[in-house]
Amino acid sequence: MTAGAGAALADALRGSWRSSPPALDITEERLRALAPGLLMNGEAGLVWRRLDAAARQRLPSAEVLHDAYRFQALRAALRVREIAQAVRLLRSRGVEPLLIKGWAIARLYPDHGLRPPGDIDMCVRPDQLETARGALRLASVALAVDLHSGAPAYGDRTVDELFARSELVEVGETDVRIPGAPDHLRLLCLHLLSHGAWRPVWLCDVAAIVEARAPEFRWEDCLSGNPRLTQAVSCVIGLAQCLLGADLVGTPLSEGATKLPRWLVPALLRQWEQGLGASGQGPLVNRLTDLLRRPGGLRAEVRLRWRNPIQASFELGAPFNGWPRLPFQLLATLRRAPAFARQLLLGLSTR
């Protein structure tokens, strides 16, 4: 993307998760520039919905987004069947899974095809992990299930806490357990931070769950726990308000956008302009042989893997305050240096 594309992307996604999203006024030139990123990250359908009938006729790129949305809707329908099958297989072996992210948040959008389905993320109790793996091997086709042993490592909830406050929702004709909305909102915010917030749809997820909350939503369940993580969660919700127009009226964070650290919004928009974040690059050793053949290739790869201020702050447990971020980015790099050296030596030894 070009400079300024991050802000344009944020503008294109404002209110896009709502049943009646605001109409989007955009030029063909701008839409064509945004389209590759929208297609890669799964936001094409969300932006297409914001185009009124006249814009869909006027803008050639609109049809590309529409095609992507229709394909994603088909994938989402298939994912529903896979989730139901996975849950039935697990329960047949006495394992109760907890579905997180993915479909568990896509259900809050006007239709499931608006959000990319991704993997099927399921948490199981650690002592049931091997049983769960065995159960999934019984599937007639490979299921894209990502099993978590206990609660996700990026959060601060135990698996017992998540299960205790969970709820059952219908997926196809199967009841599936998902986290309670307050716990899920916290998990979504922390997951976004752990990956440097490089996918815009993750911030749409936060906005969607905040606006879809029931009257009995317990903010104390969402905002309790590690104080620094709670501060970070509050910043993510503030970003959803500031950049995407999420409605925070009636929440404890209704003034949150005004309290964001000055570096946070520019850091996020720069990451959206860059695209795929450091955490999405995969193990360096997988590309090492190719990189060593190209002068400057390794240097460029290291630059891509440089932690942005958001991810570096989260990894180090740093406060999301007004302090400069460069020291945290440098420290995050130094912490990864031994692992990087091991990958480099392994790649050289296998050439």
* Mean of the per-residue pLDDT values of the chain: 91
Residue 281, pLDDT score: 55
Residue 311 lies in a domain: yes
Residue 295 lies in a domain: yes
pLDDT at residue 204 above 90? yes
Residue 89 lies in a domain: no
The answer to whether the CB of 277 falls within 8 A of the CB of 196 is yes
Residue 122 lies in a domain: no
Summarised one tens digit per residue, pLDDT across range 256-287 is 666 899 999 999 999 999 887 666 555 555 55
Residue 307 lies in a domain: yes
Residue 275, pLDDT score: 84
Identify the residue with better confidence: 139 or 30: 30
Summarised one tens digit per residue, pLDDT across range 188-203 is 999 999 999 999 999 9
Separation CA 311–CA 315 (nearest Å): 6
Q: For the residues of 29-76, what is the DSSP string, one character each?
A: HHHHHHHHHHHHHT-HHHHHHTS-HHHHHH-THHHHHHHHHHHHHHHH
User: What range does the domain containing 288 cover?
Assistant: 276-349
Residue 169 lies in a domain: no
What confidence category does residue 222 fall into, taking pLDDT thresholds of 50, 70 and 90? very high
Helix 61-92 to helix 28-41 angle, to the nearest 10 degrees?
20
Q: How far lies 134's CA from each of 84, 99, 185, in Å?
A: 17, 18, 31
> How many domains does the chain contain in total?
1
> Helix, strand, or coil here: 217?
coil
Q: How far lies 202's CA from each of 2, 19, 188, 196, 272, in Å?
A: 21, 18, 7, 11, 12
Torsion of CA 146, 149, 153, 156, to 10 degrees: 120
Structure tokens at 250: 């009636």
User: Which one, of 239, 156, 196, 230, lies nearest residue 329 by Cα?
Assistant: 196
Length of the chain: 351
What confidence category does residue 172 fall into, taking pLDDT thresholds of 50, 70 and 90? confident
Q: How far lies 196's CA from each of 13, 132, 200, 329, 347, in Å?
A: 19, 30, 11, 12, 26
Identify the residue with better confidence: 338 or 138: 138
Residue 310 lies in a domain: yes
pLDDT at residue 153 above 80? yes
Separation CA 45–CA 220 (nearest Å): 34
Separation CA 298–CA 303 (nearest Å): 9
Q: Is residue 290 classed exposed, middle or buried when 0-12, 13-18 and 19+ CB atoms within 10 A define those classes? A: exposed
Average pLDDT of span 329-336 = 90
The strand pairing partners of 99, in sequence order, are 122
Residue 51's Cβ-side half-sphere holds a number of Cα atoms within 13 Å equal to 23
pLDDT at residue 255 above 90? no
Residue 175 lies in a domain: no
Summarised one tens digit per residue, pLDDT across range 291-307 is 556 656 666 666 667 89
pLDDT at residue 2 above 70? no
